[in-house]
Amino acid sequence: MTTETITLTNAEGPMDAFLARLEGTGPFSAVVVVQEAFGVNDHIRDVCRRFAGEGYVALAPELFHRAGRGIVLPYDQFEAVRPYLSALSNESIEQDLAVSLDHLRERADVDPRRVAVLGFCIGGFVAFLGACRLDPGAVVSFYGGGIVRPRAEGAIKPLLGEAGKIRAPILCFFGAEDRGIPPGDVEAIEVGLDRLKTPHEVVVYPGAGHGFFCDQRAAYHAESARDAWRRTLDWLGKYLPAPARPNMRRAQDGGGTKR
């Protein structure tokens, strides 16, 4: 496996991104892995390596690049995160995601028809925005806040009104105990997606809260995380299949509720 930090050309300056891939010429499927509010940290890099181990080229762009390079913030200091989130807008996020998708599609080791977007927390919002405004091959959104109602910080605006534009297959995960995304918001997202002809699923995990997938946070909910990873691989494998690899191991089912 090869990992490196690369620099992408963005209209507002350079944007660093972490890249992980297997050795070989491909062409592989690829996925943009969008960070939580805490930056492209060890966990996000680990997710990229996990995808690379499954046969994907994985790229994690730094959303906070306008404020500097390599910005990573502690999980227990959310007040320090707020200024960086406040600086984001739907338009700047769209630009960063478009640059990331373009880079993957232009790589010789990537099949341009098989590029997905996946994100966590603010990254879940970004993934949903990508489904609404761009053309990924598939989308996976983990507990994206601000999709239905405005966020407390910044210029980010709700996206649910744009859901009718979604054409990519989209899978959304939420925790039933997430205090920042109430059940009513999840239901509204589900209703919005049910109007679409494109494949979609909403999975809610009992007992899981916000950030349940991250094994470096107190919110980690192992059973839900294992099941969400299995569902994610199945979803991407169905809509943009990666090259078959021997001896691949999949996590066992957990307790999520498919809706």
Q: What is the pLDDT of residues 27-79, one digit of tens each?
A: 999 999 999 999 999 999 999 999 999 999 999 999 999 999 999 999 999 89
Token readout for 131 is 């489904």
Backbone angles phi, psi at 141, to 5 degrees: -120, 120
Helices 122-133 and 90-106: crossing angle in degrees, nearest 10, is 70
Q: What ranges make up the beta strands (E) of the chain? A: 2-10, 13-21, 28-34, 56-61, 110-120, 138-142, 170-175, 200-205, 257-258
Q: Is the dihedral of CA 191, 135, 82, 47 positive or negative?
A: positive
- Residues 174, 213: Cα–Cα separation, whole Å: 10
- Residues 145, 124: Cα–Cα separation, whole Å: 7
Going by pLDDT thresholds of 50, 70 and 90, the confidence category of residue 256 is low
Host domain of residue 63: 2-258
- Residues 133, 46: Cα–Cα separation, whole Å: 28
Q: What would the pLDDT profile of 209-229 be if each residue is shown by its tens digit?
A: 999 999 999 999 999 999 999
Residues assigned a catalytic role:
121, 178, 210
Q: Quote the number of domains for the chain.
A: 1
Q: CATH number for the domain including 206?
A: 3.40.50.1820
- Residues 176, 205: Cα–Cα separation, whole Å: 6
- The model's pTM: 0.92
Q: What would the pLDDT profile of 77-136 be if each residue is shown by its tens digit?
A: 989 999 999 999 999 999 999 999 999 999 999 999 999 999 999 999 999 999 999 999
